[in-house]
Amino acid sequence: MPARLSTHARTRLPEWFRVELPTGAALERYRATTGAVAGNALHTVCEEAHCPNLHECWGRGTATFMVAGRECTRGCRFCAVETMRAPAAPDPAEPQQLADAVAAMGLSYAVITVVNRDDLPDDGVTHYRACLDAVHARLPDVGLELLCSDLAGNEAALAALLNGAPLQVFAHNVETVERLTPEVRDPRASFAQSLRILAAAKELRPELVTKSSIMLGLGETKAEIHDTFSALRDVGVELLTLGQYLAPGPGYHPIREFVTPKRFDALARTARELGFRAIASGPLVRSSYRAESLLTTAQGAAGLQVVA
C-alpha cells in the first residue's frame, strides 16, 4: 500500500513522495534484512538518517551499513545522526559482525558508510579499514563501496585507508553547493576540503571509481548546481547522485524548495553532458541508492545512461 514520508510536522509533501511498502517476497526479504542487521548489533545509515528508501532497499535485501558507532563528532544541520564530542571507542567486534551480516544477507555488493570520528588520532581509518578487510576476507567476491568522511583533511590517514584496500568505489559527499556549505554542514567541513579528499583518493588509487552526492532544495541556484557539477568533474568524480533534501525534524535546516521530478531529469542530462559516467537523480534518491546498479551502469555504458 502507498505510504507517505514524514518530515517537518508542518511541511506538506508533494504527491511524488508517495512510496510503496513491501509485500509478498519483498516483505519477507525486508524482515530478513531487519533480522540480519539487528542480530549482528549493527547500525545502518538507512535507519539513523531516516532514509525514505528504507522499505524499498531492505525489501531488495540491501542496506547501507554505518560503522564506528551511531554517534558522529559533527553536527551538520541536515543530518539526523546523533552528535557527540567523544563517542565510545569503535567496537572491535564490529568488523566480524559486519562480515557475518553481509554473508547472512547474501549480498553481492555492500555499501559501508562511516560517522566522523574527529576524536580519534587517525580519524577512524584503522577501524574503517578493518571493516573492509573483514568483509573481503570472508566474502572475496562481494563488491565494496565506502562512503567516507573528509577525515578532517588528513591525507596520510586517507593513504593508509586506501593502500591495497579491497574497494570498487570511494565515495564522499559534498552535500550542497559551496555557498551553502557553512550553513548546512558542520563548521569543520568545507567544500574545498571535500573536493580535496576526492581528488586525493583518485591520485592515490587512479583505478578506483569516485562518487559524490548533492542534496537539492536547500536554496541553491541553477548556476551553483552547474558549478558544483563542474568542480566534481575537475577532481575526477565519475558517479553522481542527486536527491531532495528533507528536514529530519524541527531545528534542522529548512526546506527551501521541492524540486520536481522533471527538473531532476534535466539536471541528470546536464551532469551526463559534463562527463559523469552514471547518475542517479530523483526526489527520493540518496547517496547509496541502488549503488551496485549505478556502478554497473558506469562500467558498461561509457557514461551514456542515467539511473533514476
Strands 18-20 and 2-4: antiparallel
Count of structural domains within the chain: 1
Taking the alpha carbons at both ends of the chain, their separation in whole angstroms is 22
* 9 falls within a domain: no
* 222 falls within a domain: yes
pLDDT at 107: 83
Alpha-carbon distance of 134 to 131, in angstroms, equals: 5
* 14 falls within a domain: no
Burial of residue 114 (number of CB atoms within 10 Å: 0-12, 13-18, 19+) = buried
For residue 291 the three cell numbers come to: 549503488
Q: Confidence class of residue 9 from pLDDT cuts 50, 70 and 90? A: very low
Q: What range does the domain containing 92 cover?
A: 20-301
Phi and psi at 47, nearest 5°, equal -80, -50
pLDDT at 195: 98
Average pLDDT over residues 208-235: 97
Taking the C-alpha atoms of 231, 233, 239 and 241 in order, what is their torsion angle to the nearest 10 degrees?
Answer: 30
* 111 falls within a domain: yes
In this predicted structure, the answer to whether residue 37 has a pLDDT above a threshold of 70 is no
pLDDT in tens, 176-218: 999 999 999 999 999 999 999 999 999 999 999 999 999 999 9
pLDDT in tens, 262-272: 999 999 999 99
pLDDT at 43: 54
Least confident piece of the model among 37-46, 79-88, 117-126 = 37-46
pLDDT in tens, 19-31: 565 555 545 555 6
| CATH number assigned to the domain comprising residue 59 | 3.20.20.70
* 5 falls within a domain: no
Q: Confidence class of residue 280 from pLDDT cuts 50, 70 and 90? A: very high
Alpha-carbon distance of 269 to 212, in angstroms, equals: 17
pLDDT at 88: 93
In this predicted structure, the answer to whether residue 11 has a pLDDT above a threshold of 80 is no
In this predicted structure, the answer to whether residue 288 has a pLDDT above a threshold of 90 is no
Q: Please check whether residue 145 is in contact with residue 171, taking contact to mean a CB–CB distance below 8 angstroms.
A: yes
User: pTM of the prediction?
Assistant: 0.85
Q: What are the CA-CA distances from residue 32 to residues 39, 88, 143 (Å)? A: 10, 29, 21
Q: Confidence class of residue 160 from pLDDT cuts 50, 70 and 90? A: very high
* 205 falls within a domain: yes
* 291 falls within a domain: yes
